Chain A
Amino acid sequence: MSDEPEIVVPLPSAPEPVPEEPPPGVGDLLARSARLGVDVVGLVAGELASASARLARNVLPPAVAEKPLESVGEKVDQRVETARQREEVSREDALDAVQSVMNQTLGAVLDMLDWDMLIQHVPLERIVGQVDLGGVIRESTTSLAGETVDAVRVGMMGLDLWTARVVDKILRRKQPRDLVVLGYDVNAPEVRVPRSLR
C-alpha cells in the first residue's frame, strides 16, 4: 500500500426534482374565466375606441383630425393589439382549466361507481349472442390464410413465367408460349352433375 493521499473526486449531485405543478382546479377555472371576461371587455372597449377615432378623423376637419387624432388613433390601436394578445392567452388558459376540471370531475365520478355491480346489470350474454364472434374469427382467419396462399401462388406464377422465358431464350424461340386453353371457363362448375339428377 502506498502512502499517497486518496484523491476524492466529487460526483455531480443529481438535479433536484422539479415539483410538478398541480393541475388547475375549479378555483383556477373561475379565476381564468374572470380574467378572460375582463380581457374580452377590454378588447371590445379598445375596438370601440378605435372605431370612434376612425369615425372622428373622417368627420372632423383636417386641421383638428390630423395630428392630435392620429396620435390618439395609434395609441388606441396599440392597446387593442395588446388586448387581443392577452385575450388569446387568457382563452387558452381558460380552455386548459375547463379540460382539467372536466377530467378530474369525470375521473372522480368514475371512481365513485361500483363497477362490479354495474357489470352485473349489463346483459353480456345478450350482447355476445348478438355478435357473431365465431363468424368474425372465421372471416379474419380465412382472409389471412387466403392472402398468404395468394402470395405464394403469385410468387409461383412469376417463377413459372420467368422459367418459361429463360428456357425460351435458351432455345432461341421468338414466339411466346401458347397458354390459352380454348373452351375453359373459370366460372364453370367443377363437379359434374350425374345424368339422373339433370
Chain B
Amino acid sequence: MTMKFVDEYRNANAARQYARAIAASATQPWTIMEICGGQTHSIVKFGIDELLPPEITLIHGPGCPVCVTPVELIDKAIAIASHPEVIFCSFGDMLRVPGSRGAEEQERDLLAVKAKGGDIRIVYSPLDALKIAQANPHKQVVFFAVGFETTAPATAMAVYQAARQEINNFSLLVSHVLVPPAMEAILASPHNRVQGFLAAGHVCTVMGYTQYEPLVQKYRIPIVVTGFEPLDILQGVYMCIQQLESGRSQLENQYVRSVRRDGNAAAQQLIREVFEIASRKWRGIGEIPQSGLELRQKYAEFDARRRFDISSFAIAESPECISGQILQGIKKPYECAAFGDRCTPEHPLGAPMVSSEGACAAYYRYRQRSLVTK
C-alpha cells in the first residue's frame, strides 16, 4: 500500500502561492465556514488559517459526527453496552464521549463501561460488527451507527446483509445525520455570520452535490465542494473568495479528483433501501427537520432501541459547555471559559473536546500554548 497524492497536496511553496493569491483578491473581510470536522482538523494541524490574510475568517462547522450525536443516545449506548449478554461495537472515537451522568458516576463513557468488564470492541466498519455477530451467535451484537452520509452506505450494507442472511443477534443504535439540512439550519439562523461554505468533499463523493443547488439559490451563498489536504482547502477558500469578491453565488467543485455531480449511485440506492429521512436532534444545536436517517419499517427488527428496553434518563449537559455555539461557528473554542482548564481531552465537558475532528480538541492539541501565551 502506498499513499500517493498526499505530499503533493502539502507542498509549502504551492501553499504560499495560494495564500498570496487569496490575500491579493480579498478587499474586505469575509467569513467562510468549513463544514467537515476533517477539514477543521487539517486547518488547525497544518496552520492553514495562519497563512490566510486577516480579512479571511474561517469558522468551524458542525461536521463532526462524534460531536453532534445527542447525549441521550450516548446514555442509551452506555446502558446497552452494560448488558452482560451484549457485545457493543463502535468506531474508536465514540468511546470517550461523556454521557449525561456526572463525572462522579462510574459509567461516564463507554471506556468506563469497558473498564468495568463490558465487552466493547472498536471496529473500523459496520461489516466487522456483523462478522462478530456471526461468530458469537449466543451474544447480542450491537453496532453504534453514527456518522454522516460517508458512513451511511456501509451501515446500510450491514443491515441489508444481516436481513438477507437472517442474522438475528445483530442490531444497530442508529444516529446517522445529513449535512445539507444542517447547513440550511445555520443559514436560516438569525445569528448566522457565514458568507460562504466549503462543503465536505467526502460526503459529496457519496451523495454528489445537486442537493446544494437549492441552498445556493435560496440564500445566495457560494458553496465550494472541497477536499481535505492543505492545498485543497486553500484552493477552496480561493474559489470562495473569488465568488464573494465578484458578487457571484454559485456551486463549484474544487475536489474534482474525487467528487462527481451525481455521486455514487449504488451507495445512494443502498441508503434509500434501508433508511428513510427523519428529524434528528443534534447535540448542542437542537432538533433539525429532515436531518437524519432512520431504519425503514422493513428493517425495524434491527433497531437496538426496540430490542433493548431502555428507559429515558434525565438529561443534564454540563452547564458550562458552549458546544452549540462552537458547532454553529458563533464562538471559537478559546472563547469558552472552561477551555483548556476545566475542559480538556482527559476530562471533556462536551463532545467537541473528544473527537480529533472536534474543533475544541483540535485547538487544544495544536494551539493551546499560543493561546495561553498570547
- A and B physically associate: no
Q: Which residues of A contact B (CB under 8 A)?
A: none
